[in-house]
Chains A and B, each alone.
Chain A
Amino acid sequence: SQQGEEDPQALSIQEGENATMNCSYKTSINNLQWYRQNSGRGLVHLILIRSNEREKHSGRLRVTLDTSKKSSSLLITASRAADTASYFCAQPITQGGSEKLVFGKGTKLTVNP
């Protein structure tokens, strides 16, 4: 299976704390993408990190990539209740003439006010 795995599966923190989610993947990548999904809603693209990048920032988000370990992490600093959502990493796989995304099962983050 090419599917990545996030851990932890669930994470509950207090507002203001930092949240770290990890993703492991199995095959070599050109890039890795992180998405957020609020309960019952669609996916929002958060950040894309390329295989030649080690770290990328976007606002309160920081993504790191370690291609030697085939792993990535998403850090949300100074969390807010509005950050409560599921977070997925996605690996683009080029196959059969298409570039499809392969998602992990996600980390369900709860930020308590």
Chain B
Amino acid sequence: NAGVMQNPRHLVRRRGQEARLRCSPMKGHSHVYWYRQLPEEGLKFMVYLQKENIIDESGMPKERFSAEFPKEGPSILRIQQVVRGDSAAYFCASSPYSGQEQFFGPGTRLTVL
């Protein structure tokens, strides 16, 4: 049973470009969480999704950031018109039900030049 998969592992973008980060949850998990980690900081919650639904996006910046978890395929975190401050590690976690242990992926490290 493969763990949580994230790709790409490293992503470099220039200011103004779009970044798309993908997360495939563990088999049988329908709950996905995205977190962001700035250098030397802990992880900060961004958004929680179930299949085809955004349940809690209270940690998402109001502009340029969006997330989806379609019926088929991975969850996508999309950042439009990236700025240098978006440089961070973005982690995805999944769980079988809300309130259960969250299993984390290896993260995507985004660098904005």
A interface residues, Cβ below 8 angstroms from B: 3, 33, 35, 40-45, 48, 88, 90, 92, 94-106
Contacts and interface: CB of A to CB of B under 8 A. Distances in A.
Interface residues of B, number: 26
Interface string B78-109: 00000000000001010000110111111101
A42 B106 contact: yes
Interface of B: 4, 33, 35, 40-45, 48, 55-56, 58-59, 91, 93, 98-99, 101-107, 109
Q: Tell me the dominant secondary structure on chain A's binding face.
A: strand
A53 to B, nearest CB: 16
B56 A42 contact: no
Given A42-B107, A100-B59, A105 B99 contact: no
Contact of B107 (A41, A44, A102): A41
Nearest to A100: B45
Contact of A97 (B33, B42, B55, B106): B55
B43 A88 contact: yes
- Closest 5 pairs between A and B when the two form their complex, measured CB to CB: A103-B42, A98-B48, A98-B56, A96-B56, A100-B45
